[in-house]
A and B are shown apart, each in its own frame.
Chain A
Amino acid sequence: MTLEIVKPGLATSIQDLGRPGYFHLGIPEGGAMDRLALRAANLLVGNDEDAAGLEAVFLGPEIKFGAEMTVAVTGGEMPILLDGEPRDNWTSFNVMPGQTLSFGYLKAGARIYIAVSGGIATEPHLGSRSTYAIGALGGFDGRALAAGDVVPVGAAPLAEEGLSIPEALRRGPGKPAELRVLPGLYWHRLTEKSQAAFFDDAWTVAPEADRMGYRFRGGQPMEFVDREQPFGAGSDPSNIVDGCYSYGSIQVPGGLEPIVLHRDAVSGGGYFTLGAVISADMDLIGQLQPNAPVKFVRVDMEQALAARAERKQIIEQLRESLNQPG
Chain B
Amino acid sequence: MAETGLFPIGSRCFLYQVDCPFDLNHQRRFWAMADAMAERDGVAEAVPGMTNLTLRFEKVPEDLDALERDLQRLWVEGRQKDLTGKILEIDITYGGSGGPHLREVCDLTGLNIDEVISLHTAPDYVVFAVGSHAGYCYLGGLDPRLETPRRKVPLQSLPGGSLSVAGLQTGVSASAGPSGWNTIGAADVSFFDPLSVPAALLMPGDSIRFRAAEVIA
Q: Which residues of A contact B (CB under 8 A)?
A: 20-27, 125-126, 132, 134-138, 142, 182, 184-185, 208, 212, 228, 230-236, 239-249, 253-254, 256, 266-271, 273, 276, 278-279, 301, 304-305, 308
Q: How far is the CB of A279 from chain B (nearest CB, A)?
A: 7
Given contacts A246-B10, A304-B11, contact A241 B194 (CB under 8 A): no
Chain A residues whose CB sits within 8 angstroms of the CB of B13 once the complex forms: 244, 246
Could you list 8 further interchain pairs (A-B, Cβ under 8 angstroms) beyond the known A246-B54, A301-B8?
A20-B44, A23-B45, A23-B56, A26-B133, A242-B131, A242-B138, A243-B17, A270-B180
Kindly specify which of B73-81, B95-103, B163-171, B209-217 makes contact with the partner chain: B163-171
Instruction: Pick from B132, B148, B178: contact of A268, CB below 8 A.
Output: B132
State the CA gap A25–B199 with chains docked (Å): 7
State the CA gap A135–B7 with chains docked (Å): 29
State the CA gap A24–B194 with chains docked (Å): 14
Q: Which residue of A lies closest to B180 (CB)?
A: A253
Chain B residues whose CB sits within 8 angstroms of the CB of A271 once the complex forms: 150, 180
Q: How far is the CB of B189 from chain A (nearest CB, A)?
A: 15
Q: Which residue of B lies closest to A273 (CB)?
A: B9
Contact B132 A267 (CB under 8 A): yes
State the CA gap A138–B134 with chains docked (Å): 13
Q: B66 within 8 Å of A by Cβ?
A: no
Per-position 1/0 for B20-55, Cβ under 8 A of A: 011000000000001000000000111111111010
Q: Which residue of B lies closest to A243 (CB)?
A: B49
Contact A246 B9 (CB under 8 A): yes
Contact B132 A266 (CB under 8 A): yes
Q: B117 within 8 Å of A by Cβ?
A: no
Contact B60 A26 (CB under 8 A): no
Instruction: Pick from A26, A132, A232, A244: contact of B15, CB below 8 A.
Output: A244
10 contacts between A and B (CB under 8 A): A24-B130, A132-B134, A135-B133, A135-B192, A135-B194, A137-B134, A212-B177, A246-B13, A267-B47, A270-B150
Chain B residues whose CB sits within 8 angstroms of the CB of A182 once the complex forms: 8, 10-11
Please provide the chain B residues from 168 to 182 with a CB less than 8 Å away from any CB of chain A in the complex. Answer: 168-169, 174-178, 180
> Which bucket holds chain B's interface residue count?
35 or more
Q: Which residue of B lies closest to A240 (CB)?
A: B2
Contact A232 B130 (CB under 8 A): no
Instruction: Pick from B9, B21, B154, B200: contact of A185, CB below 8 A.
Output: B9
Q: How far is the CB of A31 from chain B (nearest CB, A)?
A: 15
Chain A residues whose CB sits within 8 angstroms of the CB of B178 once the complex forms: 212, 266
Contact B194 A137 (CB under 8 A): yes
Contact A231 B22 (CB under 8 A): yes
Contact A244 B49 (CB under 8 A): yes
Q: How far is the CB of A282 from chain B (nearest CB, A)?
A: 11
Q: How far is the CB of B45 from chain A (nearest CB, A)?
A: 5
Contact A241 B17 (CB under 8 A): yes
Given contacts A212-B178, A236-B149, A271-B180, contact A23 B131 (CB under 8 A): yes
Q: Which residue of A lies closest to B45 (CB)?
A: A23
State the CA gap A114–B13 with chains docked (Å): 31
State the CA gap A212–B15 with chains docked (Å): 21
Contact B149 A239 (CB under 8 A): yes
State the CA gap A267–B137 with chains docked (Å): 12
Chain A residues whose CB sits within 8 angstroms of the CB of B2 once the complex forms: 230, 240-241
